[in-house]
Structures are given as structure tokens and as C-alpha cells.
A = this chain, B = another copy of it.
Amino acid sequence: MPLIQVEMFEGRTPEVKREFVEAITRETCRVLKCQPAAVEIILRDVKKSDWASGGVLWSEKK
């Protein structure tokens, strides 16, 4: 029952998200030896103004 929660910058298209969950589910099943039905993935879009690395919001990086 792997549960995979992913934070990524907002802006990905539905097609990219679809390909992403397909690929992640496939690799998870291959490596962890589980059934696809057991894999849950939740995607969370994050704004660049809500993510900081090194103390700087990505919306302010140059």
C-alpha cells in the first residue's frame, strides 16, 4: 500500500501529471513488488511564493 505524496511547482499540464502518475506507479510496482491498485498518489501544486530554499522564496530568486 505505498502512499506517495508529491509537492511540485504549479503549472504542469494534465497530460504531464497523467504521465507522471503512470510512470511513478509503474516503477513503484516494479521495485516494491506490489500491485498497481495498491499505489495511491496525491499531487500538491505549490506556488513559487510558498516554497523557499536557502531562506529565499522561489518567487524572489533571480
Contacts and interface: CB of A to CB of B under 8 A. Distances in A.
A33 to B, nearest CB: 9
A34 B58 CA distance: 15
| Copies of this chain assembled into the complex | 6
B12 A2 contact: no
Contacts of A46: 42
A61 to B, nearest CB: 11
Contact of A44 (B23, B24, B50, B60): B50
Contacts of A59: 14
11 contacts: A1-B51, A4-B7, A14-B49, A17-B50, A18-B60, A19-B31, A21-B55, A24-B24, A37-B53, A41-B51, A41-B53
